[in-house]
Amino acid sequence: MTALLEARGLSRTYDTGGAPVPALDGVDLAIERGEFVVVIGPSGCGKSTLLNLLAGLDRPSAGEVWLDGTRVDQLSETALARLRRRRLGFVFQFFNLLPTLTASENVELPLLLAGRRRRQARRTAHRMLDDLGIGDRADAAPSQLSGGQQQRVALARALANQPDLVMGDEPTGSLDSTSAGEVLGLMRAAHARGQTLLLATHDARVAAAADRVVTMRDGRVTRERAMQPSRPVTLPFDPDPA
Amino acid sequence: MALLSGGSGHGYELKQAIEHEFGTLLPELNSGQIYSTLARLERDGLVEGEAVADDNRGKKVYRLTQKGRNVLQDWLGVPVPGARLKDGFFVKFVVATSVGLADPTDLIDRQRDEYLQSLRDLDARLASAPHGPTAELLIEGAVLHLKADLEWLDLIEERLARRSA
């Protein structure tokens, strides 16, 4: 079976005036359909670069990106934009909502761009915001929303076109622990419904929720580990099994 | 002992009080543990047991003695030490890496796996079945400690990288 998303020998070098700096150095990684994969590693290890390349937000210096059996790293900007809209949702650390639009309009935008009618887009957006528990804030501007609420809107926007894959770069990175827990819960729910997730994170709780944890260092993948099903937890006062 | 400070009670009542406090999260409590603890406290003069008059099964009602009350007050009065300078992983890490027995990065990776898995276990327990607020607080405390442990691993790794750079 072909992987949903695949990086083959992916490299990205930045020219900063002096010697070229490799941010990503020959990464091979395959994400299967329905998987929940988390990338961890110290700041500057290349995890954001990897996500940007896989999402088509940046172009590799070398290597290939394959989406569902099609090579996508050499597509034109227009074709890439269309592909991103249909097949990919992206959640950012700082939400990146359009400040002049309401919460609902932010979610409607990708629907309209995908060719849906205005009324239908509005109905879908409202339903999604309802599902994420912020239906009553649909007409609020992003600036009137808390961080947790803004990230819910961003998640609704990412999920609006029912993409094959949702990626996130530190999606809980600017949230307090309660909001982070809620946003993680919503992402887990999306995963439970069959959504494929690929997240870069420093948040240990997000990493612990994944099926597979990929560790990066210095632009390379140094470890991949499948998480095991949860083990029983014994608390003090639990009687001895004997 | 704290449960007895408000009055008296027999073993079964104490068992129920503990179960009430910790909710359905805990499986059935072992009454043997309660009775052996009460017997030990009685031997040390911290509680006194009085046989129930019309009970031929040897049921006893326990109450705190003055000595027991003092010990309880002393115990409550002293805060639990804050610094945790003993750590099983760190001992392994220092010993193994100082004599070149293991690759430090490898040790850190495997420890991180374990902490992440433990975090997953705790989160699953929090998400499963109804449980009391006390048990929930206990688990959330363990989660926060684990997050700190994971941050510590990041720090150790960062220092190692800087030293070898």
Contacts of A184 in chain B (CB under 8 A): none
Please tell me the predicted confidence (pLDDT) of residue A242: 43
Q: How far is Cα B150 from Cα B89, in angstroms, rounded to an integer?
A: 12
Looking at the partner chain, which of A215, A230, A240 has a beta carbon nearest the beta carbon of B120? A230
The pTM (predicted TM-score) of the whole model is: 0.83
Q: Which residues of B touch A (CB under 8 A)?
A: 18, 22, 25-30, 33, 105, 109, 112-113, 115-117, 119-125, 135, 138-139, 143, 146-147, 150, 154, 157-158, 161
What is the mean predicted confidence (pLDDT) over A66-88? 92
CATH code reported for the domain at A5-226: 3.40.50.300
Please tell me the predicted confidence (pLDDT) of residue A194: 93
Contacts of A233 in chain B (CB under 8 A): 121-122, 124-125, 139
Mean pLDDT of chain A: 92
> Strand A21-31's sheet: what is its strand order?
A21-31, A5-14, A62-67, A70-71
Q: Are B160 and B98 in contact (CB under 8 A)?
A: no
How is residue A20 annotated by DSSP? Answer: P
What is the mean predicted confidence (pLDDT) over A125-144? 94
**Residues forming beta bridges with residue A221, ordered by sequence position:** A216
Band of the pLDDT at A213, cuts 50, 70, 90?
Answer: very high
Tell me how long chain A is: 242
